[in-house]
Amino acid sequence: MKQRSWSDVVLSVWGVLVFVFLFAPILVIIVSSFNVGRLLVSWQSFGFDSFLALFEKPAIRDAVWISVQTGFIAAIVATLLGTLAGIAMARHPGKWVWWFLGLLLLVSVTPEIVDAVALLPWMVFLGQDLGIGLFNDGIIRLVIGHSLFSVAVVSYLVRARLVGQEGQLEEASADLYAKPPATFRRVTLPLAMPAVLAGFLLSFTLSLDNTVIAAFVQVSGTTPWPVYVLSALRSGLRPEIAAVSTIMLVLTLLALGLVAYVLRRAGDSAADIARTMGGG
Amino acid sequence: MTESTPTVRILASTDAAKVIRRELSRRGFLSAAVAAGATGVLAACSPGGGAQNAPVATGGPLESKLSIYTWGDYDAPDVLEAFTKELGPKITLSSFNSNEELISKLVAAKGTSGFDIVVPTGTFIPQMIENGLLQKFNMELIPNIEHMDPAFLGRAWDPDNEYSICKAWGTTGFVYDKNIITRELKDWNDFIDAAQNEASGKTSVLDDPAELTGIYFWANGIDWTTTDPAELDAAEDFLVNTLAPHVAAFDSYPGGSAIPQGTQVLMQSWNGDARLGILESPDPSRWQWVLGSPATELWMDNWAIPAGAPNPEAAHAFINYVLTPENSLAELDYIGYHTGATGIEQAAADAELPMLDLVFFTPEQVETMHEGEVNEAQERIVEIWNTMKAAAGA
Amino acid sequence: MRKSAGVALAFPAWVWLLVFFVAPVGMVIWFSFGYKPGIFGTHANDVLSFDRYAEAMSPTFFATFQNTLWVGIAGTVICLLVGLPVAYWMAVKAPPSRRGLLVALVMVPFWTNFLVRTIGWQVILAPEGWLSGALQAVGLIDGPLELLYTRGAVLLGVVYNYLPLMILPLFVAFDRVSGPLREASKDLGAGRWTTFFRVTLPLARPGVVAGVLLVFIPLMGDYITATVLGGAKGNMVGQLVASQFQTAQNWALGSAMAVLLIIVIMATVAVGAGLVWLVTLPFRSRNRLVLGEPEPSAASKPVEEVAA
């Protein structure tokens, strides 16, 4: 490695600053979760009382759990559909791609409130009038609602990653008599992988925060976390909401650490770990 | 009541049915009105929409479950827990953010929403009754209504409390920072004046069209449920051209952050929210609450049972349970709003709850509070609200 | 044969979006030709007309849209300016072993609820908060920090909440510009800046486009993010649509406004794309000219080859 130039130093400093920016409000929330008082924003004294809410209020625990489940399933669905569509768009261009891109654009510009008021009667129609019991399930309704925008996001990302890049590799693979599924699995998918993982992360994140659609399509007992938080404004947010956020954050970081550890133990090099987790 | 059942079934179904629907729902409303005038004989047999076979509460054994759809964090956890411990039904809580969400949900589900108790705001109850979304109480199962103060029963939206009983009620006023506004503010006219002077650019108003136009109507002695186009035009002119340039935020819950953090100088707010904010402020003496006058609003969230509720026995038992004086006090302590029970003021004072002057009001003050109404002017006031926001954002 | 099998990969997404987006949303769009039948009705379609569109095109709509467009464009540009160096640093300069961790860390703050993290910002920015106190102590400002409920706060809220949507696609794009290509550029005598602007950035263009669209489009329809920190200054046109569906319960007018909003956003994207195309035209033709020149051409040559 050459010695670091001033531009590299500036870049690193900028990168670190942006991460500080991203985490600044989160740190405030972590501190607030040790607040013993009535309001989240107003510090009274230090204590662990707010963490007890997780045991005392099943509604909070349920809401978080519903959100996590929904986030995972919605991200998997969106990633699956979006990856396939993105690959198809990048590798099999044609007039249909414009139609499909048009549809994706339409999905992403439609205000959420429109999706929300449209989906609610539609789910009821599918679930009760047509008797497809699947659509009466709260988690399934939430997953469908949350997946719409995410499908568009993953498709864009995967297409952007593959377009104009090394289509020759697939041709070479075909020339070498690899069957299309093998080419897909061995060549196309690994090429698209960073975009797929980025898309998964984004879908999960978007789903965790979805409030408008979620509020409309939820059924009895499946109130997701953001809907709970927003509706709790009416009586003033308590520190326990910060406590739950802190616990979620700690669990998230633990899970990330665990994944990294397992991959390392499995014998992958550090670079491979990075690749698996969303690097290149 | 039976003719009204098909009315509800058609609601929000195919487009072809829209015309028929309007006709029928008008008739449905008439028959509901007739039934409302009749005795409570039919009380338990309410329109159930697609759920004609929904169970009816007759005082039989309680079901094992109870699903409540309400505002988030709106009930004392101890009360919920004690109910399950004493009487059995396991409670599932779900949350909504607005009455419109609640109504959309119940309309679309046509009686199969699965909720046993909902908590709509009073002004929306006529709409819910007309659309057959609520079922009548079986009053025999709610004897504890005797603990309620008659002043908070029989409000305009449900004069005989056949469908709804007060859960919590509140009113609107404002809070100002005495360090900045050194004179005494007393009524809505002072609010308007201060907003244009000391508090210009540091004023927040409620993010709700009725309370916004209310500022003008209350200050000028006009009924805030007016549908007179000239009065609405005058309100728009005032709000958009005079008040909007001074407004920094449309914030429905300043008590949750703006008051304790000292972000604004003058804030229109609901009493319970203001109380919370002042209590939690590092310097409570700095803030002054003023009840809106000469007139202001009275809003009320109500216990109600949706049509088609799967566990009506448990729903009645729960409503009856929360109306007992001890539970009523626990609820008041938890959310900071008056529950409408008789003698609760004394009980709260005995329990040494702080700042009760923001929870309880004298009968004379209650006289000046008027309930809102969803009427023909609704679209117009939403338009005024949007125009004012555009003007304030420019 | 192989071609049709490839196109079929998009089939599940087609079906999913047709069933869960086109069908239900189409129904709502259909309402925009109807009307609101009474106080308690939300929509009726027995009389069809374009009247709701005429109603929707009010001065309020356009005044609000102006503000929305300002927030949308300024927010997207700042996201790009902030996100681009970070994504580049993450994909190129940061140690490869840390890259996965960095990508995950960009997302982690956003697994805390939107409202909760915004409240975190409110605590930081409050006039009597610790940042205000610290800045006053250092002497950077005289009075309390007056950032909340200003245009600056609108942008802060928007940039904070949309930044990951910009960073992730950019990271993916920079990541795909393989190291050897940049090495080649440097070996051929191009400096690091030339390499960045002539090789790396053009190759990352699909990522830039994806990032800009992913931030700009949802931002234009959003109406909560801008208001929580920005107050009245964060008034957005999405609010008009939501207020019709919710508070006014006029689904007919709400649908018409939504359609109008969709059309205007798409038109804005089209105009923006056209402008970018026009502005970059000289650069692109210069690159083409440069090919013939003897000395600095080396740097731009790979651009042409790969981008072609």
Q: Write out pLDDT tens, residues A16-47.
A: 999 999 999 999 999 999 999 888 888 888 99
pLDDT at A3: 58
Which of A45-49, A167-171, B211-215, C69-73 has the least mean pLDDT?
A: A167-171
Whether the pLDDT of residue C298 is over 50: the answer is no
State the pLDDT confidence band at B15, using cuts at 50, 70 and 90: very low
Span A58-87, mean pLDDT?
Answer: 93
Q: Are B117 and B298 in contact (CB under 8 A)?
A: no
Q: Are strands B369-370 and B287-291 parallel, antiparallel or unpaired?
A: unpaired
Q: Which has the higher per-residue pLDDT, B7 or B269?
A: B269
Q: Where are the domains of chain A?
A: 53-277
Amino acid occupying residue A99: W
- Looking at residue C39, its pLDDT comes to 78
Please state, in angstroms and rounded to a whole number, the distance separating the CA atoms of residues B248 and C299: 53
In chain C, what residues touch A230 (CB-CB under 8 Å)? 115
Determine the 3-state secondary structure of A138 from DSSP: helix
Segments in B220-339 forming alpha helices (H): 229-237, 258-261, 271-280, 312-322, 325-335
Q: Which residues are CB-contacts of C112 (< 8 A; sequence separation ≥ 6)?
A: A26, A29, A245, A248, A249
Domains and CATH numbers, chain C: 65-307 (1.10.3720.10)
Are B249 and C231 within 8 A, CB to CB? yes
pTM: 0.84
What is the pLDDT at residue C284?
A: 67
Asked if A124 has any chain B CB less than 8 Å from its own CB, the reply is: yes
Cross-chain CB nearest to A234 (options B67, B72, B115): B72
Q: Do A160 and C172 touch (CB under 8 A)?
A: yes
Give the minimum alpha-carbon distance from C60 to chain B in angstroms, rounded to a whole number: 6
How close B234 comes to chain A (CA, Å)? 31
For B172-202, the pLDDT digits (tens) are 999 999 999 999 999 999 999 999 999 999 9
Summarize pLDDT for C108-145 with one digit per residue, the tens.
Answer: 888 899 889 988 998 999 888 888 888 888 888 888 88
ipTM for the whole complex: 0.86
B390-394 long-range contacts, CB within 8 A, separation 24+: B390/C60, B390/C63, B390/C64, B390/C67, B390/C235, B391/B240, B391/B241, B391/B244, B391/B245, B391/C63, B392/B244, B392/B245, B392/B247, B392/B250, B392/C232, B392/C235, B393/C64, B393/C67, B393/C232, B393/C233, B393/C234, B393/C235, B394/C63, B394/C67
Tell me whether residues B209 and C119 touch, CB distance under 8 A: no
For residue C6, what pLDDT is reported?
A: 75
Q: Determine contact: A223 vs chain C, CB below 8 A.
A: no
User: So what's the pLDDT on residue A207?
Assistant: 93
Which of C28, C116, C210 minimises the CB distance to A245? C116
Task: Say whether residue A272 is in contact with chain C using an 8 A CB cutoff.
Answer: no
Q: How many CB pairs under 8 A join B and C?
A: 109
Q: In angstroms, what separates the C-alpha of C233 from chain B's closest C-alpha?
A: 4
Read off the pLDDT band of A270 (50, 70, 90).
Answer: very low
- Using CB atoms within 10 Å of the CB of residue C3, give its burial: 0 to 12 exposed, 13 to 18 middle, 19+ buried: exposed
Q: Please tell me the distance in Å from B39's CA to the nearest CA on chain A.
A: 33
Q: Which residue has the higher pLDDT, B233 or A179?
A: B233
Q: Is the pLDDT of residue B35 over 80?
A: no
Q: Which chains touch C (3 or more CB pairs under 8 A)?
A: A, B
Quick check: A234 and B74 CB within 8 A?
Answer: yes
Chain A adjacent subunits, 3+ CB pairs under 8 A: B, C
Instruction: Quote the minimal CA–CA distance from B142 to chain A in Å.
Output: 24
Kindly tell me if the per-residue pLDDT of A267 is higher than 70: no
Nearest-CB residue to C250 (from B18, B379, B387): B379
More confident residue, B9 or B148: B148
* C38/B392: higher pLDDT: B392
**Is residue B37 pLDDT above 60, yes or no?**
no
Cβ-defined contact of C24 to A14 (cutoff 8 Å): no
Q: Between residues B70 and A54, which one has the greater pLDDT?
A: B70
Which architecture does CATH list for A53-277? Orthogonal Bundle (1.10)
Q: Is the pLDDT of residue C175 over 80?
A: yes
Contact call for residues A163 and A243 (beta carbons, < 8 A): no
Residue A276's pLDDT band, with cuts at 50, 70 and 90, is low
Q: What is the pLDDT of residue B42?
A: 31
